Amino acid sequence: MTDIRKVGLTALTMFGSLGGYAAAQEITIWSLTSGSQEVTAAWDRIVADFQAANPGITVTLERRSTDEHKAALRVASQSDQGPDIYFMWAGLGLGGEFVNSGLSLPLDGYYTQYGWDDRLVGTAEGFTRSYPPNRHGVPYTFRGEAVYYNKAMFEQVGITELPDTYDELKAAAQKLADAGIPAFTFGGTVNWHIMRLMDVILETECGAEKRDALMGMQLDWSTEPCATEAFVEFHGWTTNYFLKPFMGIDQAQAFNLFIADRAAMMLEGDWLVNQLDEAGRAGDMGVFPFPTGTGRLYGFGENFYISTQSDAPDAAAAFLDYFVSDAVQQSVSGLFGSISINSNVTYTDVRPLDQAWMDIFAEYSETFVNGDQAFPLDVTTEYFRVINEVASDVLPPEQAGAALQAFIASRN
């Protein structure tokens, strides 16, 4: 072999090795633990199949509980130990904080490159436009929250029609109470669980526009009458219609009580369908939207965001493209949510509760988000404290609005 050919071959080998080394990429995804084993298994399958289809990319999936996930992201934000892709709720107080701090990579280029808008359901992709001018995040799910009810208990007390108005819901709760059945079960230790009832009552008492203004801190909680009315109504529910005690248990314990037929209703999201299915109780429960009267569904979006600190944004985008693909979304249909974020998914052998959710999603074109996603984090914490004090009979509901407003005012 001539010298020049030897050199060329050596160079090719060297650069080939370097290129091979550069092609091997690692991406880390941080997400939440799930109460459903099926969901956990599905995620493991998605990761394994992606790696098999993309031998140059290694995917590590790390899962944490809700609060630990938020804390871990905050710690990692100042280091290079953070994830390439992270799960986050789309609301201002959560995902928005990371977007506004420059930790979410704008994905406009990838949306164009992969044509994601051609596949995504409108409601889902709408949550990626929350922080203009750029697109942030790729939809994981979009969630609805509604009232699950125990069919047998409803039948027992003679509730034959599902409540269509707030007054009808209260009447149903009273019927249950008269029969010695607590209407609702909630877990008070996790703050955001009992907050849901306050959120829907606030929507009911104030209407959509005022509720948004209150959550945006543009209206005064201490002087707005509907806010006080909402706290009074909320206190009425916790006093008269809750399974007690509730302040010392969490949402998992509340769920156990629900499937143990200790209460008639739970205010939960579409994710509960899987848990009810795994508990063998899906056939015994129904679901209906909380009748706020505003035409908006209580719900929120959950996205996957690519971190601006990622060393492999292209690989991360490739994984997200795989995740939202028709094949993957069809394979997990009904697992991550009753409706897929992919509009090309077809639904067969739909479980009754999933069908109920599809009907609910079809009925509503607008949503209002949970309080802990609408408020900034510190106001959310105070919102939790005030709600819990009202529920614990420590703070009179008539003073709750003023207490919250005092905190909001102290931030300025």
Partner 1 sequence: MPARTSLSPVTTGWLMLSPALCVYLLFAVYPMFDVLVMSFSSWNGLTADSAFAGWDNYRWVTTQDPVFWTALWNTIAWTLLALIVPNLLAFALALSLNQRLPGVAPLQVIFYLPVIIASIAVATIWKWMYDPFFGLLNATLTGAGLSGWILDWLGDRQVALWSVFAAHVWQSVGFAMVLFLAGLQSVSPTLIEAARIDGAGRWGVFRHVTLHALRPSIVVVVALSLINSLKAFDIVYGMTGGGPAQSTQMLAMWAYSQAMQLGNFGRGAAISVILLGITLVIVIPYLRWMLKTEEPAR
Q: Which residues bind partner 1 (CB under 8 A)?
A: 67, 70-71, 74-75, 77-78, 97-98, 101-103, 188-191, 244-249, 253, 256-257, 262, 377-378, 381-382, 385, 388-389, 391-392, 394, 403, 407, 410
Closest distance to partner 1 from the beta carbon of 361 (Å)? 32
Closest distance to partner 1 from the beta carbon of 265 (Å)? 17
- Give the integer Cα–Cα distance in Å for 170 and 370: 22
Closest distance to partner 1 from the beta carbon of 102 (Å)? 7
Closest distance to partner 1 from the beta carbon of 343 (Å)? 34
Q: Which is nearer to partner 1, 98 or 336 (CB)?
A: 98
Q: Which is nearer to partner 1, 63 or 70 (CB)?
A: 70
Closest distance to partner 1 from the beta carbon of 179 (Å)? 19
List Cβ<8 Å contacts ≥24 apart for 16-25.
23/56, 24/56, 24/57, 24/58, 25/56, 25/57, 25/58, 25/312, 25/315
Q: Which is nearer to partner 1, 64 or 351 (CB)?
A: 64
Q: Which is nearer to partner 1, 37 or 101 (CB)?
A: 101
Q: Which is nearer to partner 1, 102 or 216 (CB)?
A: 102
Closest distance to partner 1 from the beta carbon of 370 (Å)? 16
Closest distance to partner 1 from the beta carbon of 309 (Å)? 11
Q: Which is nearer to partner 1, 98 or 241 (CB)?
A: 98
Q: Which is nearer to partner 1, 103 or 297 (CB)?
A: 103
